[in-house]
Chain A
């Protein structure tokens, strides 16, 4: 594209807190990001880091505590019921679990056509059926499976049904919440390719949430690394793998088991486990596990642009 890239989505200082009996759970704590039209932003983090909550808050499946969500130049953070219908037609989600994301008592046809049925975007039954079949073709589902129930399908096909449902309203933006984590590698590659093809064909914009760094590299233009509700590093995808800056990103990268048996990366074994996101102390949240922690890490950190478009929230990043 020759014109200046325009962000389709901009998130400013988004917070999502939950009141729990043990204290305030800061699932998403002051996250800002932008995604350009037609691009993919990868959100990487381990379980419990708040990445799914972030995705759900952005597409307004959940209300956020504070901050702004700007979609297509419009602040949708507090959109009313009417506007929400429009938001839903333009922002969709693909879920992780191919089992719990489909209604077990609906046939594929019913699941895929339901969004169109509700949006009344069809003139006749025949048109509805035709559109359903078009969607099934699009995601590579055999038309004969129209009357099948989810339990008759394998995980990969079920995930295709979820994708068809998300596409049925022709959205601009899709949150992919670990869409391939539950699938076997050979099937995983099929689904990832499908997502890439669909993006190319329809100019879709993705936010791709995952814990798997090798998957995210293949699909994302930019990557945000998330730890305990905060972004610790954001960077163009290539750059992040070439030159990770935050100690957590480095540990995460080194922890991936590599299939290259002769050139095993040097492993960084972190101490301890993920701390609790309930009433965290100010300062770097990773400090308790960080091998390079210093006294100054107890002060609040913020994302700083260290290299062009490469932000990191660690004051020692350049020294390390």
Chain B
């Protein structure tokens, strides 16, 4: 990427995107929610009103009250504190596995898009096979094989996302490769690596950033689903999906055990999608004026 000076370039393409994005209220609301949640996740140990493992048998299934903001669960643990701490697992899994799959996708996509030919054919067919398996099933299979745990879950969640990133990047590389400024770069003795890093990737970033943003939301959902069915993060570490799962047995009697984790998942996924949508609009060159 071209180096970015912080101040004087008011009109760099990224500054333009930021300006347009800042005018989009929905996207900014999404961004605000994400920032707030991230802050909460980072500060969780400090701002939690209770320890997330602290059991309190007097308050089993306690309804939301001033004492327990979102109520308490079957062991009398404070749901608000558990949600706060659980956001660490959910957010970090979502973000890390999307970044991992995008990084892998960029590496593979660059090779495939730039070299084409046989390399392209072989790798793309392999990715086709991965893509033919439903993402959730793949994640279940991988985490069942590797065992549960934080890192394994991240790995399981990221592999399914790789083919899409590769496809996205490959497409934009192929359309850029025939542009005259790429020819010009070849003609001034740019190495293939330099062409990739300085001329192709910066111009393929727009769709990638959108897909990463949207991807994080989906991956958080997938992580929650894995925990819901008992894979993924293991108790006693709180995780939204696992909390939802734990509450399902008593949902008719104590709905708040499910409602609050469910709301959290919904809000964070929605926030990422809102931001992603806004980013796509802000980056669409056809909307530039």
Give A contacts to B, CB under 8 Å: 56, 59, 61, 85, 88-89, 92-93, 95-97, 100-107, 110, 114-115, 118-119, 147-149, 151-152, 162, 165, 168-169
- Smallest CB-CB separation from B178: which chain A residue? A100
Report if B181 contacts A (CB, 8 A).
Answer: yes
Stretch from B4-12, B71-79, B91-99, B240-248 contacting the other chain: B4-12
Contacts A104-B203, A105-B203, A106-B2; A165 near B188 (Cβ below 8 A): yes
Contacts A85-B189, A105-B2; A165 near B11 (Cβ below 8 A): no
Q: Is the CB of A147 within 8 A of B203?
A: no
Q: Which of A115, A152, A168 has the most chain B CB atoms closer than 10 A to its own CB?
A: A115
Q: Is the CB of A103 within 8 A of B199?
A: yes
Contacts A107-B9, A149-B12; A101 near B189 (Cβ below 8 A): no
- Smallest CB-CB separation from A162: which chain B residue? B184
How far, in angstroms, from A107 to B199 measured CA to CA in the complex? 12
Contacts A105-B13, A107-B9, A118-B194; A59 near B187 (Cβ below 8 A): yes
Q: Which 8 pairs between the two chains have the least Cβ-Cβ distance? A: A115-B188, A101-B180, A95-B180, A105-B202, A103-B181, A100-B179, A100-B180, A88-B189
Q: Is the CB of A97 within 8 A of B13?
A: no
How far, in angstroms, from A151 to B13 measured CA to CA in the complex? 9
- Smallest CB-CB separation from B12: which chain A residue? A149
A–B complex contacts, Cβ < 8 Å, 6 sampled: A97-B180, A104-B203, A105-B12, A107-B2, A115-B189, A119-B188
- Smallest CB-CB separation from B9: which chain A residue? A147
| Residue in contact with B189 in the complex, picked from A61, A97, A119, A165, CB distance below 8 Å | A119
> A101-B179, A152-B11 are known contacts; what are 9 more A-B pairs with Cβ within 8 Å?
A85-B189, A95-B184, A96-B180, A103-B202, A105-B12, A118-B188, A118-B189, A118-B194, A162-B184
How far, in angstroms, from A104 to B179 measured CA to CA in the complex? 12
How far, in angstroms, from A101 to B187 measured CA to CA in the complex? 12
**Which residues from chain B contact A102 at a C-beta distance below 8 Å?**
181
How far, in angstroms, from A168 to B202 measured CA to CA in the complex? 23
CB interface residues, B 176-217, toward A, < 8 Å: 179-181, 183-190, 194, 198-199, 202-203
- Smallest CB-CB separation from B199: which chain A residue? A103
Q: Is the CB of A101 within 8 A of B11?
A: no
Q: Is the CB of A93 within 8 A of B187?
A: yes
How far, in angstroms, from A96 to B189 measured CA to CA in the complex? 20
Q: Is the CB of A169 within 8 A of B181?
A: no
CB interface residues, B 153-172, toward A, < 8 Å: none
The smallest C-beta distance from A294 to any residue of chain B, in angstroms, reads 42
**Which residues from chain B contact A151 at a C-beta distance below 8 Å?**
13
- Smallest CB-CB separation from B205: which chain A residue? A105
- Smallest CB-CB separation from B194: which chain A residue? A118
Contacts A104-B203, A105-B13; A89 near B189 (Cβ below 8 A): yes
| Residue in contact with B184 in the complex, picked from A149, A152, A165, CB distance below 8 Å | A165
**Which residues from chain B contact A85 at a C-beta distance below 8 Å?**
189
- Smallest CB-CB separation from B187: which chain A residue? A88
The smallest C-beta distance from A308 to any residue of chain B, in angstroms, reads 36
Bitwise, B1-31 to A at CB < 8 A (1) or not (0) is 0100000110111000000000000000000
How far, in angstroms, from A96 to B180 measured CA to CA in the complex? 9
**Which residues from chain B contact A168 at a C-beta distance below 8 Å?**
188
**Which residues from chain B contact A162 at a C-beta distance below 8 Å?**
184
Q: Which of A148, A149, A168 has the most chain B CB atoms closer than 10 A to its own CB?
A: A149
The smallest C-beta distance from A61 to any residue of chain B, in angstroms, reads 6
The smallest C-beta distance from B14 to any residue of chain A, in angstroms, reads 9
The smallest C-beta distance from A78 to any residue of chain B, in angstroms, reads 17
The smallest C-beta distance from A89 to any residue of chain B, in angstroms, reads 7
Contacts A61-B186, A115-B188, A149-B12; A101 near B181 (Cβ below 8 A): yes
How far, in angstroms, from A152 to B198 measured CA to CA in the complex? 20
